[in-house]
Structure 1
Amino acid sequence: MSLRKSLLALTWIPVVYTFTNHVYQPYQIRGSSMSPTFNPGTDSTTKDIVLVSKLKVKETSFTRGDVIMFRSPENPEKILTKRVVGLQGDRVRPKSPYPKAQTVVPRNHLWVEGDNAFHSIDSNNFGPVSQGLVVGKVVTILWPLSRFGKDILGGRDARELDPKDMLVKLIGEI
């Protein structure tokens, strides 16, 4: 009986492997670059675990405010978590140490920044990120349970608004 259960369990390994590599996968968020969205406490041992959607990530069109995971352009072994603040064609005003006062996000690239500007290595350091480096989109917080399903929208927006966009934004607020 136990051999049969063991063999049955072994048959699920390819299913679990495929699911976590191509559909959804939990990831642990390390560091404080996305605080207070992730790892908001001062306790350094607490690290949020999030659920990342990998389903059709190459065909996904991202929007400003999405939290994504991507391979670092400086070290492909490292996976970073940042918020999308600029899409292709957007004009952004980078913060120091980026060498230009203003830049346009190239085609098939994203401008990403951490929510905690003081402790984030992001597009302000390495420039726009190719969408080909994106691993997945963060869907929700899984752990700790007290923050399960917490809203992860928000963050900063580095996009420079055109006067027409500013007018539309002001009219929408009235």
Structure 2
Amino acid sequence: MVNLKTVGTKIFVVIGCVVKYGCIAHCTLEFVGDFVVCVGPSMEPTIESQNIILTEHITPRLRKIKKGDIVIAKSPNNPRLLICKRVMGLPGDRVKWGLLNSDVVPRGYVWLQGDNNSNSTDSRDYGPVPQGLIRGRAICKVWPPRDMRLFTSSVNEPSGR
């Protein structure tokens, strides 16, 4: 005969473990880092569509983003979408774009551009982006394995492979 008290205790323990490890996973993905699938051509050739990158969330929270970093941010045009762009200007920087255009990045904002200048919707279209929209900083490309590499903060990078 099955002891209902023993079965109930085991179910309670299993549910407790699922909740505990679910909370740990959630906090890790929300506050430490996660994996992002990049879609679209705006960061080519550095990051191609369907590449998977590892991001960390600590640097943006500490406001330690540097010029040249690749970041994941909420789109200023559609907050439900995430964008992957390179930081080209920090607060106070004068950013030139196009032949005659330039802007000064205001305090609390950054200037984001894709590495593929001819096929990227970025700060040239929607202006400086609030730093609060930055979700993470790209650390490395992890997929596909043949293209695995660390990212550096070189502003002159769009590098190939």
| Same topology, TM > 0.5 | yes
Matches within 5 A, 1:2-151: 6-7=14-15, 8-39=17-48, 47-55=50-58, 57-95=60-98, 101-151=101-151
Number of aligned residue pairs: give it.
148
C-alpha root-mean-square deviation of aligned residues, in Å? 2.4
CA 1:152–1:119 in 2, change beyond 3 Å: closer, same or farther? farther
CA–CA distance in structure 2, aligned partners of residues 71 and 102 of structure 1: 24
TM-score norm. by structure 2 comes to 0.81
- The CA deviation at 1:108 is 1.2
Give 5+ residue unaligned stretches, structure 2: 1-9
Deviations 1:135-162 (A, max 9, x none): 11111112111122344544559xxxxx
CA 1:63–1:140 in 2, change beyond 3 Å: closer, same or farther? same
SS in 2 for 1:20: helix
CA–CA distance in structure 1, aligned partners of residues 104 and 91 of structure 2: 8
Deviations 1:32-75 (A, max 9, x none): 10000101xxxxxx611111111252322221110011111111
SS in 2 for 1:81: strand
CA–CA distance in structure 2, aligned partners of residues 153 and 66 of structure 1: 5
SS in 2 for 1:93: strand
CA 1:5–1:119 in 2, change beyond 3 Å: closer, same or farther? farther
1:163 paired residue number: none
- The CA deviation at 1:111 is 0.7
Give 5+ residue unaligned stretches, structure 1: 40-45, 158-174
CA–CA distance in structure 1, aligned partners of residues 51 and 59 of structure 2: 24
Greater strand percent: which structure? 2
What percent of counterpart residues are identical?
29
Tell me, yes or no, if the aligned pair for 2:140 and 2:149 is still in contact at 8 Å.
Answer: yes
CA–CA distance in structure 2, aligned partners of residues 133 and 104 of structure 1: 19
Q: Which structure has the larger Rg?
A: 2
TM-score norm. by structure 1 comes to 0.75
CA–CA distance in structure 2, aligned partners of residues 149 and 9 of structure 1: 34
